[in-house]
Amino acid sequence: MVHPLVLGEGSRLFEPGQEPAALKLSGQVSTATGVAILSYAFDGNRAVAE
């Protein structure tokens, strides 16, 4: 299970009430302590609930 976390300052990436966007995994790194660092990219489509 993945729990995304957006860190930092500046412009908001996700506005309250915004429609979900479909993302695809663009990269991953596993650290020596077992933490998975996952990178995602917008795939240009709106997410659709199944």
Please compute the mean of the pLDDT values over residues 8-20 and round it to a whole number.
Answer: 78
What does the alpha-carbon distance between residue 41 and residue 33 come to, in Å, rounded to a whole number? Answer: 25
Ranges of each domain in the chain: 20-50
Asked if pLDDT for residue 1 goes beyond 70, the answer is no
Q: What pLDDT score was predicted for residue 9?
A: 82
Q: What pLDDT score was predicted for residue 29?
A: 95
Asked if pLDDT for residue 50 goes beyond 60, the answer is no
Please compute the mean of the pLDDT values over residues 3-21 and round it to a whole number.
Answer: 76
Per-state percent for the chain, helix, strand, coil, to nearest 5:
0, 40, 60
Identify the DSSP state of 14. S
| Helices assigned H by DSSP within 1-50 | none
